[in-house]
Structure 1
Amino acid sequence: MSTQLTADDVRHLRTGAHFLACAIDPTAIHVYTDMVLRAMEHQSLELTTVDELASDDLVVAVGMVTQGLFIADMPPVGDEFLGCIKAMEASLGRRVRAIYPLAAANINGMIPLMVGLQSTLPVIDSDPMGRVFPLISQTTLNIGQVPISPIAMMGVTGERALVEANNPQRAETLVRALVTELGGWAATAMYPCTAAQLKAHGVHGSVSRMIRIGQIQDAETSVERKFLMLAELLDATRVARARVSHIEGLSRPTDLGLPAQPSSVTLEDESTGQIIRLEIQNEILLVLVDGAIAAAVPDMVTLLNSEHGTVVTLDDVRVGNVVDVLTYPAAAQWYSQAGLDLAEPTAFGIPLRHPRRSHA
């Protein structure tokens, strides 16, 4: 069922997008939020379900791909995504009928709202990740063997590219190289598919889930009450309330296309004495409690300020901080054999299998 989003919905979505991605470019997401709110003063914004579309309607994912440049350092002019959609339509010879977020978290959770307002296309309450992953090949559409290309790109300087590659990993390599050449970020449109394909292989309700998370986080209520509501919504578990004791950068190598410097955070639960270790590469990939796996990618992890219940961005973690470590499951597709092949720790260069591997 289609709904008209309000200004409050947009603000809550921003909060939810931050919650689902502890690593975030806060300036960029606020810039996009302000752009959306200003545009909404003059027109409405429609959030629709995939069921509202005709089964053969063409839909595409829109999102920003970055490689070493904060979006706020070189802000978009504003027409980049419209250019990508037009290039996609020219390549396929068909009109795009709706758009959906490349990832339902971080800046890419917010971008489709702006693109929807610019293009007057409805935004679908679905995405192909249900969270955020660093690679464009790490999607449930890839699991479902939905083609990733053509991929339309427009960079910092207005230069454009169209990538046609059948293999998602090869597409990943080409896109990353082009993003670097295009100036450090690129607006993209990719995974063109029918509404029926998105319905079969996407993660649904992911945009409205960001809004609901934001409603909980933004509410004037106690930290404990917020946690209880989040636990019910997300099936979240509080692994520990612990104090950061050590932060280190690691020399662990990363494969091409994994845009991160690996790091590790050690915490101590002062009530139990347990030692918590977080392995980080853009997102938190692994949570160990006294050496045992408490959560592993694709499981999701969020750090909250223990006093205020607000999200702790990874770049802001400091020795002495006391944080709540929350874990919650990803979309069901990620726990299939094919999903774990794409997104368990080994896919990030950590030689550990996900605990659910034997049951997948």
Structure 2
Amino acid sequence: MKTLRTVYAEDMDDIAVGGAILGTGGGGDPYVGKLMAQQAIRKHGPVKIIDVDELPDEALVVPVCMMGAPTVMTEKLPQGDELMNAFRQLEQRMGRKIDAVLCIEAGGINSTIPFVVAAASGLPLLDGDGMGRAYPELQMVTFTMHGVSATPMVLCDDKGNSIVLETVSNAWTERLARAATIEMGGSALLAFYPMSGAVAKRAVVRGTVTLCANLGLTLRETRAAHKDPVAAIVDMLDAKIVFHGRLKDIDRRTVGGFARGTARFDGLEEWRGHTFKLDFQNEFLMAERDGEVLITTPELITLLEPDSGNPVTTDSLKYGLRLVALAIPCNPQWRTPEGIALVGPRYFGYDRDYKPFDFAS
């Protein structure tokens, strides 16, 4: 199979930063996953990234990820072998060798965790994922829209426990896996959504691993050239700046395995005199400006530090931070009726229909 790029330990810095930008505030702290990936790559060798079209139709592809509240993940670090335990147990369950590894989301820790398995197993990692961003629940992937079952699934924790799930729907997988994750201490490592190469070619959001790497590289090079890092990210993602302000209030709590809350900002510079509110459930889901809803899921909402361009996650929001909010177009699959049913504002309890954000104005 032709390799798109070979990822070495030092490349993970850029990928982690790019994943945090696409993670819309969620997906867990990419720093933890980056360290795990770098350690695995140094031990086992670099990871080869391949295009999904390089896969034979009969190949077996398996995504891996960490599940739980981001606030828990930063304090309850994996031991290191949970991911491979889940991966190998699922392989045994499937009764055949797995041919490639896949990211479940292009955000936060789960944009870097799959590199651990790819390095340790010597398997290629697909250039893509199941979201093009991050979402809080397991069924919220493009795979669901293509009829892929999340099970059989294997969950492993840091104590050596493992659970195998077989469920009637991906929504039930989320409910049962979430309950198990809470009992496992708030975070668990998973292998799930086994699919053929033929299905992966239809279902995967393509190019997101490369995009993460390029976002991190662009940010690093822009800063080195003393240029505007936020403008560089806006240009790369066809994004739009929707607010610049200072965080005045943060309400954040861990409930039911999620980090839920609201962040409120007062405007600075051109936004002075205006207000901004963000609602999140692991990820930023809805933004209001001056009391009017501005943008909702499935579009991406991301916060960046204005001077460095570094992304800021929901679990690292602190009073007084000066931040720039971006609106970023989502993958077109999410704007379909099936996509809106999975991740639209009404699913998360907001009393409003999805209205596409006007990126042209």
Distance apart, 1:242 and its partner CA: 2.1
Task: Name 1:117's counterpart in structure 2.
Answer: 119
Name 2:270's counterpart in structure 1: 271
Describe how 1:172-183 pairs up with structure 2 within 5 A: 172-183=174-185
Task: Report the equivalent of 1:162.
Answer: 164
Larger deviation, residues 206-215 vs 276-285: 276-285
After the TM superposition, which residues 142-153 of structure 1 pair with which residues of structure 2 at under 5 Å, given as runs?
142-153=144-155
Distance 2:354 2:92 in 1: 42
Q: Does structure 1 conserve the Cα–Cα contact (< 8 Å) formed by 2:27 and 2:134?
A: no
Which one of 228, 240, 244 corresponds to residue 241 of structure 1? 244
Cα distance change on mapping 1:283 and 1:223 into 2, 3 Å? farther
Structure 1 CA distance for aligned equivalents of residues 201 and 139 of structure 2:
18
Q: Which residue of 2 aligns with 1:333?
A: 333
Deviations 1:154-188 (A, max 9, x none): 11211111100121111111111111233322111
- Relative to 1, partners in 2 of residues 1:184 and 1:292: Cα closer, same or farther, differing over 3 Å? closer
Query: Aligned pair count?
Result: 351
TM-score normalised to structure 1 length: 0.89
Q: Distance in 2 between matches of 1:38 and 1:160?
A: 24
| Alignment match of 1:186 (pick from 172, 185, 188) | 188
Give me the whole-angstrom Cα distance separating, in 2, the residues matched to 1:313 and 1:188: 22
Distance 1:258 1:74 in 2: 13
The answer to whether the 8 A contact 2:70-2:282 is kept is no
Instruction: Give the AA of the match of 1:120.
Output: G
Match of residue 312 from structure 2:
312
- 1:58-69 aligned within 5 A: 58-66=60-68
Could you tell me how far apart the structure 1 residues matched to 2:31 and 2:316 are?
17
After the TM superposition, which residues 3-42 of structure 1 pair with which residues of structure 2 at under 5 Å, given as runs? 3-21=5-23, 22-23=25-26, 25-26=28-29, 29-41=30-42
Could you tell me how far 1:72 is from its partner in structure 2?
4.7
Structure 2 distance, partners of 1:25, 1:192, is 23
Check 1:32–1:44 CA distance in 2 against 1; reply closer, same or farther (3 A cut).
same
Distance 2:89 2:57 in 1: 22
The Cα of 1:223 is off from its aligned counterpart by: 7.5
Distance change (3 Å), C-alpha of 1:348 and 1:207:
same
- In the TM superposition, residue 268 of structure 1 has moved relative to its aligned partner by 2.4
Cα distance in structure 2, aligned partners of 1:269 and 1:69: 28
* Long gaps (5+) in structure 1: none
Question: Which digits, 9 at most, give the CA deviation of each residue in 1:305-328, with x for residues without a partner?
Answer: 223322233344344433211110
State the alpha-carbon separation in 1 of the partners of residues 252 and 28 from structure 2. 20
Q: Which residue of 2 aligns with 1:209?
A: 211
Unaligned runs of at least 5 residues, structure 2 = none
Could you tell me whether the CA contact under 8 Å between 2:69 and 2:186 is conserved in 1? Answer: yes
Identity %: 27
Residue 98 of structure 1, CA deviation = 0.5
Name the residue aligned to 2:233.
230
Could you tell me how far 1:225 is from its partner in structure 2? 3.3
1:102-146 Cα deviation digits (max 9, x unpaired): 111111111011111111111111111111111001010111121
Q: Which letter does structure 1 place at the counterpart of 2:68?
A: T
Higher mean alpha-carbon deviation, 115-124 vs 42-51, is at 42-51
Q: What secondary structure does 2:193 align onto? A: strand
| CA distance in 2: counterparts of 1:87 and 1:14, whole angstroms | 27
CA distance in 1, matches of 2:252, 2:295: 21
Q: 1:154 to 1:196 in 2, by over 3 A?
A: same
